[in-house]
Amino acid sequence: MSFVHRARQAQYIGKPIRRKEDYRLITGRGLYVDDIRLPGMVYAAFLRSP
């Protein structure tokens, strides 16, 4: 059985599929850079000249 034939049988071709990364993102569990919290983490702030 060809790959295409099997894929069609599994009903993936031509069908919308839910993305696997979305579940974390719609439940607020995404880890964007500012969301990362590590033990002993420090923060930097830039004090610029006026």
Read off the tokens for 13: 């071709």
Q: Does 48 bind another protein (CB under 8 A)?
A: no
- Pick between residue 3 and residue 16 the one whose CB is nearest to another protein: 16
CB of 5 to another protein, least distance (A): 27
The SS3 assignment for 7 reads helix
* Site pattern 5..24 for another protein (x: CB under 8 A): -----------x-xx-xxx-
CB of 40 to another protein, least distance (A): 16
Distance CA 13, CA 10 (A): 8
Alpha helices in 1-50 (DSSP H): 3-9, 22-26
